[in-house]
A and B are shown apart, each in its own frame.
Chain A
Amino acid sequence: AQRVTQPEKLLSVFKGAPVELKCNYSYSGSPELFWYVQYSRQRLQLLLRHISRESIKGFTADLNKGETSFHLKKPFAQEEDSAMYYCALTTSGTYKYIFGTGTRLKVLA
């Protein structure tokens, strides 16, 4: 069965420190992976997707098929990065998303 695991419920880092939010997935085929973010009092929105290989707000994520991981990274955290982050998986040709349980990132001043 498809599954997305985010092992950390809460991650606290100091401003300027590197950030890595972990995401592991279980899927036997070729997944499409996403990171969604929810800032305080805002709706869930797309941060980035693995197929676009882009950097958004300084965040990057690389799909590692060998380790079945899609960790989200940022070299220097900023206070405005504090939010809830969800890793999500979908398979090509379907609309169904499988979400992880989310990691709350707190960036401390």
Chain B
Amino acid sequence: SAVISQKPSRDICQRGTSLTIQCQVDSQVTMMFWYRQQPGQSLTLIATANQGSEATYESGFVIDKFPISRPNLTFSTLTVSNMSPEDSSIYLCSVGALAGTEQFFGPGTRLTVL
């Protein structure tokens, strides 16, 4: 198993600003994932972050809006850029050991954009 922490746990931001969310894992992992959970919606995968390479974005998500860093095997950041109220969501970080197996989730970051 893996223990994941996220910072901040919540934030209220103004339109047009950016917020960087940090994800820290207590062990080295190959794959880290970023999800978005909009109010009343399911979890949607934003991107997969591998250490030492560019993140892989899902359809509908672009690097300019959601830049991701993965400087080492225990840490990643997701930035939500030029925010609008539609970006108000819970953002979750997760890790997985093997393809098709359990993923471990962080506690989430609740973002409200005014």
A interface residue numbers (CB < 8 A to B): 4, 32, 34, 43-46, 49, 86, 90-97, 99-102
Contacts and interface: CB of A to CB of B under 8 A. Distances in A.
Contacts of A100: 42
Main DSSP-derived SS at the B contact region: strand
Interface stretch (B60-68, B81-89, B104-112): B104-112
B105 A43 contact: yes
Contact of B43 (A90, A94, A99): A99
Interface string B43-85: 1110010000000001000000000000000000000000000
Nearest to B96: A95
Interface string B85-102: 000000010001001101
A27 to B, nearest CB: 13
Given A86-B42, A100-B42, A102-B42, A95 B105 contact: no
B34 interface: no
Contacts of A96: 45, 48, 58
Contacts of A91: 100
Nearest to A87: B42
Contacts of B40: 101
Given A92-B100, A95-B99, A43 B108 contact: yes
A68 B33 CA distance: 27
